Structure 1
Amino acid sequence: MYNRKKIQEEIPEAVTKIWSCTSDDCNGWMRDNFSFDQTPTCLLCHSPMISGEKMLPLIVNMTDQWKLSAAVTTATAE
């Protein structure tokens, strides 16, 4: 029998550091490597956030590499 559906590749997952909203009424969270602050506030309700972990699909954040290369360039220029 012929099946036209494309075979879905399994996306690898890993335990990822996240920030979770402390408010009971809010389900907001964000990946740690996508936050700009050391201790961010929730973008939905403006409550403080706490650090935690969650099993999520792997995503490469290119801004981490840009921050690292900028820091190296600044350090070598001095």
Structure 2
Amino acid sequence: MAFGKKNQEEIIKEETKVWECNSDDCKCWMRDNFKIEETPTCPMCGSEMSISTKVLQVVDNNSIYYK
């Protein structure tokens, strides 16, 4: 008998579009489905961001502000 061991759901990961900061001094990135602007600027340092991909856990954005 195993105590304290929970049945864990499988974590689903997939290739996800993200925006990465172009500044060499900043490591900020955000998921494409969480951006507010069409071409976002870095929320941490204000630099331009470029689109890329990462393999991440699937997260849905149910915000009414998502376009």
By the TM > 0.5 criterion, same fold?
yes
Q: Which has the larger share of helix? A: 1
Structure 1 residue 67: Cα displacement: 5.6
Q: Give structure 2 stretches of 5+ with no counterpart.
A: none
Equivalenced residue count is 66
Q: Which has the larger radius of gyration?
A: 1
**Runs of at least 4 residues off by over 3 Å:** none
Q: What is the RMSD computed on CA atoms of the aligned residues?
A: 1.7
Q: Which has the larger share of strand? A: 2
Percent identical pairs in the alignment equals 45
Q: Residues 34 and 66 of structure 2 are in contact (CA less than 8 Å); yes or no, is this contact kept in structure 1?
A: no
Structure with higher RCO (Cα < 8 A, 6+ apart): 2
Q: Deviations over 1:10-44 (max 9, x none)?
A: 21000000000001111100000100111100011
CA distance in 1, matches of 2:23, 2:15: 23
